Structure formats: structure tokens, C-alpha cells
Structure 1
Amino acid sequence: MTTAKIYNAGDFVLQSGLTLPDAKIAYVTYGELNAAKDNVIVYPTRYAGTHNEQPPLIGEGMALDPAKYFIIVPNTLGNGASSSPSNTPAPLGGPDFPLVTHYDNVILQERMLKDLWGIEQIRLVCGWSMGGQQSYHWAAIFPDRVRAMSCFCGQAITAPHTHVFLEGVKYALITDPAWMNGYYKEQPWRGFTAQGRVWAGWALSQEWYRREMWRELGFSSLEDYLKRAWDGAYFPRDANDMLSLIATWQACDISDNPIYNGDRTAALGAITAKAIIMPGRTDFYFPPEDNAAEVAQMPNAELRVIESVWGHYAGGGKAAEDTAFVDAALKELLA
């Protein structure tokens, strides 16, 4: 576990119009910033993840090599490390935490890069899932400053089917009697267990389950896998934090900001960065077809499908061959 540093941004006006007082980004870095300040990689975090889940793609000999690049991992607002419902005082804490968008995340991250290091140019921005959504936003909001971008198992615009999936996850959590409209006295553990069981059916493919691949992970049966891998998966988290991230995910729209005013074609067309978009063939909530429609509107982008049975986890460092696939693409973007 790596201890994050904190960037204190002061009062930050969110896209919603509310001010987030004493806004903070928790972050970690790998490698050293060079004198030209042109070896910067930004690698934002995923849903329910923090900087501690990022290392599978970072290392010697990999695309994200700290010997070559200055890699910045900013924690997404709402994830419990950066400003979140669980660490923001009343009247904006807990269930009263305001909606945060990826536009908010990226604007605040860009301010951090300038304030702390004077960074203007981004060699690569990349990410998995919600981290990939932020990569899209970085490339559209700052098209003249992002040289390359990649999203693996994510989207520029949350599709209606994905929105509905997230509604199921959300209601699995908030129907726990301990929920108490977000003013819970203890975490809604039964809701977390229900959330884990719902997510287990979405995160991995039918073929993964048909092959009983949980056995390769050391589980003796399907129920053993569900019980030990999923029932407690969210116990270390805070329920309001998880719901805040869901709200951010559902609101994801690369054009819903003052720059593009809802014009999705303009937003995607503005991404001039060299881009490789990598959906997983069996990802239920970020299917290749949705990414193909996005890539068709991007002037310098390629769709490269991860042929994996690992579903959404094809982009998450769970299988060595999938990680190698993503790493190879990132090396091309950095070449």
C-alpha cells in the first residue's frame, strides 16, 4: 500500500454550481519529471479503486516505466482518498455531497499539475473504466496539450444500458434497512453484499463462468468464489462514496460542459491526440460497439478490441495476456 500525498486546491466551484470547500486530490507519482517537462503520463483511478490498484501497468520495461516517465496517479473525487462524502464535513458531507462530474475531476487535476510542477504538456493520459472516461475528457478539454490517450474498457459517454446497470447496483445498496437515506450509523453491510453479488454477474463474462475460471484463482466452487471474492468486496469502502462515484459515472458525457455545450460530435472530433481505444469483447457495460461509434468521430483514433473472456476485467490487470495487450498498445502510443 502506497501512502498518497495531498494537493490542497482550496474552494473549488463544481460544474453543478456548488462550491466544494477545501477541495483535495490525493495522488501518487512514479519516476522523475524531466527538465523539459514533456515525459508526463496521467493515469486516473477507476470505480471503487484508489492509487493502490494502479501498479499492474506500472513497472520497469512496461509502457508506464518510471525510469522513463513521470507518472501521476490522481484519485477520482468521491473515491474516499480525494475529497469525498466520507471526508467532507457538513453540510456537504455524506449523502449531501454534491454531484461531481469528470469535467470537474479533469479541471482540478489540470490545476494540480500546473500548481505543483508547472506541467503544460501531457505525453499520455490513459485509464481503465472510470479512469478511461477521464482520459477521454482530458483529450477533449485540452486537445492542444494531450499528445496521446487511451481508454481501456470505458466510454466517453455513459450509454443508457450502462446507466440502467448502475441503477441496479445503486438500489442493491440503498434498500438495506441500515441505509437510513445515507445518514447511517454503521455501513450498510447487507447492501454492500448485495452490491457485490450484483456486480459479480456483470464484471465477468458467461464464458468465464462456463470455464469455471474461478478455480484458477484458488476458489473451490462457484459459491466459494462469490462468498470470498464478492460478498465483502466493498466492505473497506464507504457507501456514500460508492454512490457518489456511481453518480459521476452516470453523468459521464464528454460534451456536457461549457466548452461543447452538449455537442458530442464536436467533443469527440476535437480529440486530435493519437488514440487507441480498447474495449473488451465480452465487457457487458462497455461493449465494443459503443466505442466503435466514438472512434468513428475521432480524427486520429483506432479501435483495438481485447479478445478476452474476462469481461470488464480485461482492462483491469487480472489476466497477464490482457495486461500485455494493453501494455503493447500503450508502448505504441509512446513510441
Structure 2
Amino acid sequence: MDYEIFDLGDVALQSGVTLPGAFLAYKTYGRLNEKKDNVIVYPTAFGDQHVQNEWLIGNGMALDPRKYFIIVPNLLGNGLSSSPSNTPPPFDRVNFPQVTIYDNVKFQHRLVTEKFGIQKIALVVGWSMGGIQSFQWGASYPDMVERIAPFAGAAKTWPHTYVVLDGMKAALMAAARLDSNQRDQLTSADMRAVGRVYAGWGLSQAFYREELYRELGFDSLADFVAGVWEDSFMKMDPHNVLAMLWTGQFADISANPAYNGDFDAALRSIKALACVMPGSTDLFCTADDNEYEAKLMPNAVFNPIESIWGHFAGRGINRADNQFIDDSLKRLLARSTNG
């Protein structure tokens, strides 16, 4: 096991349900300095675990473990933190309660403060649903978070994004004949269709037109869809996926008692220096959505990743996109937050 567990105990969720014996799985890189001010929090995205974040961590990179103490908390529902697949009855599998982005960040805040005694965070960074969590950190703890850098992730699930996630959910639920009482019979094989649905959204039209999948070692479109999309989704537990889809569909940094649904007010409250990096051709976390958000944030730079890799410009696959993100993070970390 290459990660650690932080026991949360019995936690009250936003839904009103108490989840007993909840826990966060996390991994740290580097060392916490004496002043405890070299902290970077880097939450995971939908379906990812901490290892999928490691492409952005390394000596000489912005997230340099020789300089920073980097904490990667795993999203609830991802199979490592409390999830349908690892929670005992009565909250196992289909009975796992609904968990929000707000819940996730609240528990991450407990990890950071209770386990490590940290009071200041130099940066919260994340891709996709990790990006939403970085926005939430900025809105929930504006005096604690000095910088945020969401890439290919919005501050809420805009209507079109909701529809895309709903299509993924429908592909899975079709295997249960759209009957929620039959969800317990779902298996990982039923995830194949979900991968096929996502294949059309994860990358841009130009990516497919220019056959860039050949750069990844696939000779044909059919091989690429089966080898990447089907394969990666069939490794996931369907109940975990349904839990994470719910978290994603109802993500909104203002859906909590602090902002009562006032999205613009939540954005204006983010004091952190922010570098908002959408993929220029992202089909469902669009640059337009991010541009709206960045304009309302007092200290935000809108910095699109010019790439035909769509949503996956932020996935750590394409060297030019990786370099752009790393360079942007270096500039952000070099900016002083004093005045």
C-alpha cells in the first residue's frame, strides 16, 4: 500500500446522512518545513487515484517535492477513500450516501489541519473534478488558501456538463434496465459502454480527425476506443462510478450554507491568486464557462491551454500541454501573495 489513511470517524454529510467510520486515503510527497508554509494540496479527479496525479510532481517541476510538501487526497468514492466498494453494510454498494465536493473539501481540511497542523496552503491544484475541488478550497477557506490552479475543471457543473455526465450514467444504468433496484447486479463489464460514451467527450474533434491516437501506439480508431476508453472504465467498480458521477453532477462551490447557491458571490469570495486553465478545445468543461468564472474572481488569470487534446489536455499525456501547465504553475508559485 503506497498511501496512508486518515480516519474521519462518523461524519455528517451535507445530505444529512451520517457515514460511520469514514476515511480519507492520501499520499504525501516531500517534507513539511518548520514554518508549515510549503504546502500544496492536489486532489484527485473523477475515477483517478493518487498515482494518476504523479505526472505533475517531480524534481525541477513546479510541484517539486524537494521544495514543497504535496498532499494528494483521494476523492470519496474512488475506491481508496470511503467508497461503495469498501464501506461495510448498511452503506455498501448501492446504499452508499451522496457525497458532495463540499463534503470532500471539508474532510480534506480536517486532514490538513488535524493531522499536520497546517494553517496556510501555498497552492491547491487539480484537473477536472480535482479542479472543482481547488475552486471549493478557495471559496470555503479564502483566508487559508494563497493560490489555486484548476485546469480543465469548472467551479460548478454547468448544464451541458451535467448532461454529459448523465449520458455516462444512463449507459451504465441501461445495463440495469434503468431500474435502480437492479443496480446491485452491475459489474465492471457493464462499464464498457460508459467508456464508449466518454470517448466522444474526452478529446476534441481535431484530435480524432488528425488521428493523434497513433502517437499513443494505436493503429486504428477501434483499437484506441477499446484499448483506452473501454479498458480504463472496465477497471472501475460501477458503484464507485455512480457515486462519483453523482458528486460530479451536483458540484457547485456555492451549494452550501456559506453561499446558499449564490454562485457569483462564491466566486467573488475567492481571495487566492488564481490561474484558471481550461483546455481550449474541451467539449464539456468549456473555456467559456471558465472565462465567466475567472472574470468574477478578484485575483484570477484566465490562461487557456491551446491544445487539440480536449479535456485530456490536462491529463498528463501530451508533452506540450504538460509543459504549459508546469510553466504556468511555476509562474503562479513565484507570485507573492503579500499585497
Could you tell me which residue of structure 2 aligns to residue 12 of structure 1?
Answer: 11
Give yes or no for the alignment of 1:156 onto 2:161: no
Counterpart-to-counterpart distance in 2, 1:297 and 1:183: 43
Query: 1:54-88: CA deviations, max 9, x gaps?
Result: 11110000000000000000000111100011111
Q: Secondary structure at the match of 2:25?
A: strand
Q: Which letter does structure 1 place at the counterpart of 2:187?
A: Q
1:109, CA displacement in angstroms?
A: 0.5
Q: Which residue of 2 aligns with 1:22?
A: 21
Query: In the alignment, which residue of structure 1 is the partner of 2:295?
Result: 296
- Identical-pair percentage: 51
What secondary structure does 1:54 align onto? helix
1:177: Cα distance to partner? Answer: 4.4
Look up the SS of the partner of 2:145 in the other structure: coil
Matches for 1:230-249 after TM superposition, within 5 Å: 230-249=229-248
> Could you tell me how far apart the structure 2 residues matched to 1:275 and 1:249 are?
22
The 3-state SS of whatever aligns with 2:225 is helix
1:56 counterpart SS class = helix
Task: Please report how far the alpha carbon of residue 330 of structure 1 lies from its aligned counterpart in structure 2 after TM superposition.
Answer: 0.7
Q: For 1:231 and 1:263, how far apart are their aligned partners in 2?
A: 38
2 CA distance for matches of 1:92 and 1:101? 16
| Structure 1 partner of 2:45 | 46
Does the aligned pair in 2 maintain the 1:123–1:147 contact within 8 Å?
Answer: yes
> Residue type of the partner of 1:37?
K
The question of whether the paired residues in 1 share the 8 Å contact of 2:57 and 2:64 is answered with yes
Q: Distance in 2 between matches of 1:322 and 1:77?
A: 28
1:188 deviation in Å?
4.5
Letter in 2 for 1:241: N
1:79-126 Cα offsets, whole Å, 9 max, x none, are 110001111111111111111011100110101111111011100000
Q: In structure 2, what is the Cα distance between the partners aligned to 1:201 and 1:27?
A: 31
Tell me if the contact between 2:168 and 2:197 (Cα under 8 Å) persists in the aligned partners. Answer: yes
CA distance in 1, matches of 2:270, 2:218: 43
Q: 1:156 is matched by which residue type in structure 2?
A: A
State the 1:240 CA deviation: 0.7
Could you tell me which runs of 5 or more consecutive residues in structure 2 were left unpaired when the two chains were aligned. Answer: 335-339
- Which letter maps to 2:163? V
Asked if 1:166 is matched to 2:165, the reply is yes
**Letter of the aligned partner of 1:187 in structure 2?**
T
Match of 1:187 in 2: 187
Which amino acid in structure 1 is aligned with residue 184 of structure 2?
Y
Structural mapping, 1:234-313, within 5 Å: 234-313=233-312
5+ residue gaps, structure 1 = none
TM-score (norm 1): 0.97
The root-mean-square deviation of aligned C-alpha atoms, in Å, is 1.2
1:73 aligned partner:
72
2-structure distance, mates of 1:133, 1:85: 22
Note if 1:57 corresponds to 2:66.
no
Aligned residues: 332
Supply the distance in 2 between the matched residues of 1:163 and 1:56 (Cα, whole angstroms). Answer: 28
Aligned to 2:337: none
The 8 Å contact of residues 204 and 310 in structure 2, kept in 1 or not, is answered as yes
Task: Return the TM-score normalized by structure 2.
Answer: 0.96
Separation of aligned partners in 1, 2:114 and 2:71: 14
